[in-house]
Chains A and B, each alone.
Chain A
């Protein structure tokens, strides 16, 4: 007696057959015990039986395309089946298991923890919207209007829900479960991380005079987006996470490079930096006040850079 499982390309089980006999024949022909409608499978492809030691063995019946272990590249005439690694014939994956194949223990359904993700999602969602509203309020210099607050909150909520909806749909298609709540948590965490960084960068740019934090804000925004995407992909399926991560990272690296290029070319064209210098309340100043001499010494150093730009421009012109 044995169980034969036919797997999808993602190695999910598509059908599972209980075979009571000691030997099973697999192939495309109608004289088999299991018929596989795969044009790359031979009419009589495989014989599965127990050898003298009692192990399950798959034996290739002299086919044109051969039999392989999943992931293996060399064709094998005879494979000892361990119940874990599938085998491949043609484009079809099979797994053979003993009736006494051991399965994992059942998971314990946690009654107390069930509400937790919902509570966390609600809290994070409220926090994200609240942070957005706070930002609007702190930048409010004209007459306050209700729409100034409602519109960004609504855009943010709609944006996050659409994003999460798309990922949930993808997850439903590829893994069968939508994981909506987890996707929502990931998106909210990403949004909050970005808001937090944005405020910190502006703060650092003012308090310590670190304009670099503000100038490269776009790069950090893309990196946060990449992390969020990788987490989403992991929720869909944790397999080959390294490959997916590498792909996402490569995409984001390309985007950052293009944006950096765009900015430097725009600076070259307009001669002006695009980032705004934000001021904060005087109490937020953390850097010491420089004396005039030190400041102007730095200004004098700037001259060399300007002259470098000029001679560079002169050289370009002469070409």
Chain B
């Protein structure tokens, strides 16, 4: 009985697939029951031959180590997926290889052609010809999509089978350095690289990430980046040395990031008697914190602000980089003596280059330098105890992770601890930014 029902649905699907491809004229002519079917149904029905599961296999074992989704975008076998779905193949081509499984059950080998690291996209080519494919939505490419439009996100969550999730287009994500579409709808691991389509089945974006801790909050890479990557893959030879290409793209991306960060500049914020630099770039997420209500009652008051850029970039499963962080803590006490206050500051001022990834694989050991520094010999510039720690990215020449900590040394019972952390930054850029940062740490009175 069940199987009979399933066969019936499948039969209908095939009809619906034809409908979506052939357009409205055909739909009008079809049976009334079919016309009443929801858009989700028709999207689902149209998807199978063009929707893919992209599997990363251990070449020797022939078994998958990770799975994601993807979709065909041309009749000659070009398909789009996420870079993070194929990153293992890009970085370790000898160890891993790609395989696709289409929603209609066909499977075969896939070859990685090109990647777009900044937008987490990759284009692969399948040994599949003359199959139906997805087209990009014109309105989405030109950025004229209307907020509130219903979108359907497709993919294969957790290897459970292909699914369609209905959701809403909410425009671009604010406070994001990389352009992302804010999509409200369910998304799960394994759907990465799948398309998000309109009711007509045209691609608006590529599933890329969900907000940890959010409900139904998801991000899509806008379709125009996928279209651009596809164009590049068609026009250029396939990339031979992906490590080199990834390094090149990472360097290009971070140089834009830090230029933008530097150009937006710092503005001054007041913390107790001090003034501290805050970034003026819009793509930071800032929070304030205080220990005022803590029990047991703290013997020194801490007021902090912390700004973190929304720029984490996936490079490998064990390396996320490109985050900028600024934080300031104003600490004052009436209860601790000067030594105890110094001990308190000690706990707050240990330098730490931010996580980022598997340490030994990606980074050289940290090297630090510390000293008493004053930006200028004026009363506005208090003496600072500055600690600078840096580590080099082993696999990316010219990139470093830097952590700067400055503690004001003008008062035994109040102080400002300022931190600046820069991931994947050029050394000279880091030095220049640190200089500006230190110069902006001032005693305000």
Residues of A within 8 A of B (CB): 137-143, 209, 211, 267-273, 276-283, 285, 287-292, 295-296, 298-300, 302-303, 305-307, 309-310, 313-314, 317
- Chain B interface residue count, CB cutoff 8 Å, equals 61
Most buried by B among A141, A271, A277: A141
| A289 surroundings in chain B (CB, below 8 A) | 372-374, 383
| A307 surroundings in chain B (CB, below 8 A) | 392
B349 within 8 A of partner (CB) = yes
Most buried by A among B338, B349, B364: B364
New A-B contacts (10) at CB < 8 Å, excluding given A276-B346, A285-B409, A313-B394: A138-B339, A138-B343, A143-B297, A271-B364, A277-B387, A279-B346, A279-B349, A291-B376, A299-B434, A313-B364
- Alpha-carbon gap, A310 to B396, bound state (A): 9
User: Which B residue sits closest to A301, measured CB to CB?
Assistant: B369
Determine whether the beta carbon of A290 is less than 8 Å from that of B340: no
User: Which A residue sits closest to B385, measured CB to CB?
Assistant: A279
| B411 surroundings in chain A (CB, below 8 A) | 282
Determine whether the beta carbon of B391 is less than 8 Å from that of A271: yes
Nearest CB on B from A55, distance (A): 74
User: Which residues in chain B, 356-412, are within 8 Å of chain A measured between CB atoms?
Assistant: 359-360, 363-377, 383, 385-388, 390-394, 397, 400, 407, 409-412
User: Which A residue sits closest to B387, measured CB to CB?
Assistant: A277
B427 within 8 A of partner (CB) = yes
User: Which A residue sits closest to B338, measured CB to CB?
Assistant: A281
User: Which B residue sits closest to A272, measured CB to CB?
Assistant: B366
Determine whether the beta carbon of A279 is less than 8 Å from that of B431: no
- Alpha-carbon gap, A278 to B341, bound state (A): 11
- Alpha-carbon gap, A276 to B387, bound state (A): 12
- Alpha-carbon gap, A211 to B389, bound state (A): 14
| B391 surroundings in chain A (CB, below 8 A) | 271, 306
- Alpha-carbon gap, A302 to B403, bound state (A): 14
| B377 surroundings in chain A (CB, below 8 A) | 291
Residue-wise interface mask of B (399-437) relative to A, using a CB-CB cutoff of 8 A (1 in contact, 0 not): 010000001011110000000000000010001001100
Determine whether the beta carbon of B372 is less than 8 Å from that of A211: no
Residue-wise interface mask of B (290-306) relative to A, using a CB-CB cutoff of 8 A (1 in contact, 0 not): 00000011111000000
| A310 surroundings in chain B (CB, below 8 A) | 364, 392-394, 397
Determine whether the beta carbon of B350 is less than 8 Å from that of A141: no
Determine whether the beta carbon of B370 is less than 8 Å from that of A277: yes
| B376 surroundings in chain A (CB, below 8 A) | 291-292
Determine whether the beta carbon of A279 is less than 8 Å from that of B392: no
| B349 surroundings in chain A (CB, below 8 A) | 277, 279
User: Which residues in chain B, 308-359, are within 8 Å of chain A measured between CB atoms?
Assistant: 336-347, 349-352, 359
**Pairs A–B under 8 Å by Cβ, sample size 17:** A140-B343, A141-B347, A268-B360, A271-B363, A272-B352, A276-B350, A278-B342, A282-B409, A282-B412, A283-B338, A292-B373, A295-B373, A302-B390, A305-B367, A306-B364, A309-B392, A313-B394
Quick one: which of B299, B375, B434 contacts A141, CB cutoff 8 A? B299
B438 within 8 A of partner (CB) = yes
User: Which B residue sits closest to A211, measured CB to CB?
Assistant: B370
- Alpha-carbon gap, A249 to B128, bound state (A): 75
Determine whether the beta carbon of A285 is less than 8 Å from that of B372: yes
- Alpha-carbon gap, A271 to B366, bound state (A): 5
Determine whether the beta carbon of B366 is less than 8 Å from that of A273: yes
Determine whether the beta carbon of B299 is less than 8 Å from that of A282: no
- Alpha-carbon gap, A267 to B394, bound state (A): 15
- Alpha-carbon gap, A281 to B408, bound state (A): 11
- Alpha-carbon gap, A258 to B139, bound state (A): 67
| A292 surroundings in chain B (CB, below 8 A) | 373-376, 435, 438-439
Determine whether the beta carbon of B299 is less than 8 Å from that of A142: yes
Nearest CB on A from B338, distance (A): 4
| A278 surroundings in chain B (CB, below 8 A) | 342-343, 346
Determine whether the beta carbon of A141 is less than 8 Å from that of B369: no
- Alpha-carbon gap, A91 to B392, bound state (A): 67
Determine whether the beta carbon of A279 is less than 8 Å from that of B345: yes
Determine whether the beta carbon of B365 is less than 8 Å from that of A268: yes
- Alpha-carbon gap, A268 to B365, bound state (A): 6
User: Which A residue sits closest to B341, measured CB to CB?
Assistant: A281
Determine whether the beta carbon of A271 is less than 8 Å from that of B365: yes
- Alpha-carbon gap, A139 to B347, bound state (A): 10
- Alpha-carbon gap, A268 to B397, bound state (A): 19
User: Which B residue sits closest to A143, measured CB to CB?
Assistant: B296
Most buried by A among B336, B337, B370: B370
Nearest CB on A from B91, distance (A): 13
- Alpha-carbon gap, A278 to B349, bound state (A): 9
Most buried by B among A278, A300, A310: A310
Determine whether the beta carbon of B370 is less than 8 Å from that of A143: no
Given A277-B387, A306-B367, decide whether A287 and B339 contact each other with a Cβ distance below 8 A: no
- Alpha-carbon gap, A285 to B383, bound state (A): 10
| A271 surroundings in chain B (CB, below 8 A) | 359-360, 363-366, 391
- Alpha-carbon gap, A87 to B371, bound state (A): 68
Residue-wise interface mask of B (154-194) relative to A, using a CB-CB cutoff of 8 A (1 in contact, 0 not): 00000000000000000000000000000000000000000
| B365 surroundings in chain A (CB, below 8 A) | 267-268, 271-272, 309
Nearest CB on A from B41, distance (A): 53
Determine whether the beta carbon of A298 is less than 8 Å from that of B369: yes
- Alpha-carbon gap, A302 to B45, bound state (A): 61
User: Which A residue sits closest to B348, measured CB to CB?
Assistant: A279
Determine whether the beta carbon of A295 is less than 8 Å from that of B400: no
Determine whether the beta carbon of B372 is less than 8 Å from that of A296: no
Determine whether the beta carbon of B371 is less than 8 Å from that of A139: no
Given A141-B336, A277-B350, A299-B388, decide whether A291 and B374 contact each other with a Cβ distance below 8 A: yes
